[in-house]
A and B are shown apart, each in its own frame.
Chain A
Amino acid sequence: MQKGVIGTAHVQIRVLDIDEAVTHYRDRLGLLETDRDSQGRVYLKGWTEADKFSVVLREADEAGMDFMGFKVLNNEVLASLRQDLIDFGCNVEDIPAGELNGCGPRVRFDSPTGHMFEIFAEKEVVGRATGHRNPDAWPMDLKGMKATRFDHCLLYGDDLDGTLKLFTEVLGFWLTEQAMDGDVRIAQFLTTSMKEHEIAFIRAEGKGMFHHASFLLESWDDVLKAADLISMWDISIDIGPTRHGLTHGQTIYFFDPSGNRNETFAGGDWYVPGMPTTTWDAEKLGKAVFYHARELNERFLNVTT
């Protein structure tokens, strides 16, 4: 049941070198830089996104994800979800407006898989890069892979059942797809919108692991061109271009200069509320992850930051 969460809005990623990271996310992925703050954090967004930022880069001594943020409908929803999170047993922290430039108050909370999330209702709207009045099809000065928006994250952790409960019962996400090994859910894909996933989790020992942040491209042709650019710039490749069984997206995976995995993808399935959950059996996991090769790859499975 919908609880007023609109969907995935931002991710703060830790990087080892901020300048290398900006070159990667801005000049190669093609995000637009929208701000920097006194802590040295860099704010970016895809050209189709209207809110001020969707990716925040922070220089640190380790790679990985600081937190992922979801936008909610309004401040009443924010206040009532805050209480629901406390009742569920989350540790909740109130982050004041302006801690991230242009963002209203945020409610940060932990999760059974050890990841940090936050919800917020207000963020400065700067608009799509083409504007909102008689807009052209796309901006002519886009760079690199021309990422249109930050789309979702895949996270690894142990207590998938606990995090599923948090996302479905408290935050009102739907379980769109899952992979099952008997009674054990080894993968879960969740949404609050018509996107097949706003966030996904895979079961792995340990907590708080970051598998990838994903960016939407316009077409399969753009996925292929992203692969070309990965070779031209000698970017660390993981796997692809290929298609997933899960969500059926057309995809390629690679790493940022600090070792965080990125995905660029196009296409894939839509979710309409009320649709049955799609289930992949463990013995079909190869096909579920890589639809063509039909076998898993050790690096894709085990490398996280």
Chain B
Amino acid sequence: MFHIEVISSDDASFECPPEKSLLHGMESQSVKAINVGCRGGGCGFCKIRILEGEFEAKKMSIKFVTKEAQAAGFALSCRVFPRSNMRVMAVGND
């Protein structure tokens, strides 16, 4: 279990096991800090910026997070699996 801190209009935190995506982990604890969309990396609704922490990511739609944005720490939280405690910022699908 890793501790995930979310900076958003409503700061929140939740615990997430390594086999669950951040979004899935958040939803299973009924926390509402990141927007929930398709849960499949396609819609950009759950976009975050990763501030701290280790993770692994599955492929996400470059329409919403370009390769450059990924390099700058942006990600779709439904495709990010924690490998340490993390601190992230919810940025939404602007």
Contacts and interface: CB of A to CB of B under 8 A. Distances in A.
A283 interface: no
B40 A255 contact: yes
Nearest to A20: B40
Interface residues of A, number: 19
Contacts of B37: 259, 299, 302-303
A258 B45 contact: no
A172 B63 CA distance: 33
Interface string B31-46: 0000011111111010
Contact of B59 (A16, A64, A256, A260): A16
A61 B59 contact: yes
Query: Chain A interface secondary structure, helix, strand, loop or mixed?
Result: loop
B35 to A, nearest CB: 8
Interface string A1-27: 000000000000000110000000000
Interface residues of B, number: 18
Contacts of A259: 37-43, 61, 78
Contact of A16 (B36, B39, B42): B42
A64 B63 CA distance: 10
Contacts of B40: 16, 63, 236, 255-260
A57 to B, nearest CB: 13
Nearest to B45: A303
Contacts of A304: 43
Nearest to A16: B59
A62 B42 contact: yes
B62 interface: yes
Contacts of B59: 16-17, 61
A18 to B, nearest CB: 11
B60 interface: yes
Contacts of A257: 40
B63 to A, nearest CB: 4
B27 to A, nearest CB: 10
A29 to B, nearest CB: 15
A305 interface: yes
A143 to B, nearest CB: 21
A41 to B, nearest CB: 18
A305 B38 contact: yes
A10 B32 CA distance: 38
Query: Which 4 A-B residue pairs are closest in the complex by CB-CB distance?
Result: A259-B42, A63-B42, A259-B38, A259-B40
Interface of A: 16-17, 61-64, 236, 255-261, 299, 302-305
16 contacts: A63-B38, A63-B40, A63-B63, A64-B63, A255-B40, A255-B42, A257-B40, A259-B37, A260-B42, A261-B38, A299-B45, A303-B37, A303-B38, A304-B43, A305-B38, A305-B61
